[in-house]
Amino acid sequence: MTADTFSLPAEGPFAALILGGARSGKSRYGEALVRASSGRAVYIATAEARDDEMTARIAKHREQRGSDWALIEEPIHLARVLREQVRAEDVVLVDCLTLWLSNLMGEEREIASAVDELLAAIETCPARIVFISNEIGWGIVPDNALARTFRDEAGRLHQQLSAQIDAVVAVIAGLPLMLKEPGGP
């Protein structure tokens, strides 16, 4: 199976991780997976509009998606949303985990416990979920401690999530590359 022929199963539970760099096409790929599936399309947004530029980005994403998606905006309590607001017939896109991680760090939350809570919520979530996240570990070593900590936490999050979920796809220059196939190790 290649990533270009990959599709979500007809029903859940199922979880996939789509990784890529900035402007790699990962969100567009994840949205296409959700659109091609039957069920209620649910977009869980972790971004917060803290400045004009981010407000414009969020507006552009909403416009591109269209109005046929249910929207849940949750910058911190992602696990709670998966436990309490997601139904078996839903096909969920979480965009994005690195923004969620940044939000947690900005509020000085305990990262390891938040990740453990997310992993536990995925285990019991009856829906099909597509997680979007930035792969930031391929660049240069950041020059400050906060940025290095963020890079390290993102890498750990991706490793833990990839070990638990069903499929992992990397998107580079708009092209998907299957890293973990459903049913794979």
pLDDT value, residue 5: 65
Q: What is the DSSP letter of 164?
A: H
Q: Which of 9, 58, 57, 13 is nearest to 34 (CA)?
A: 9
Share of residues in the chain with pLDDT > 70 (%): 96
> What number of H helices and E strands is found in the chain?
6, 7
Pick the CATH number of 10-180 from 3.40.50.720, 3.40.50.300, 3.20.10.10, 3.20.20.70: 3.40.50.300
The structural domains of the chain, with segments of one domain joined by +, span: 10-180
d(Cα 63, Cα 19) in Å, to the nearest integer? 23
The predicted model gives 40-49 an average pLDDT of: 90
Catalytic sites, residue numbers = 61
Q: Is the pLDDT of residue 2 over 70?
A: no
181: Cα separation from own chain's centroid: 17
The predicted model gives 126-142 an average pLDDT of: 92
Task: For the chain, state the CA radius of gyration.
Answer: 15
| 18 neighbors 174 (Cβ within 8 angstroms) | no
pLDDT value, residue 12: 83
pTM for the predicted model, two decimal places: 0.92
pLDDT value, residue 50: 78
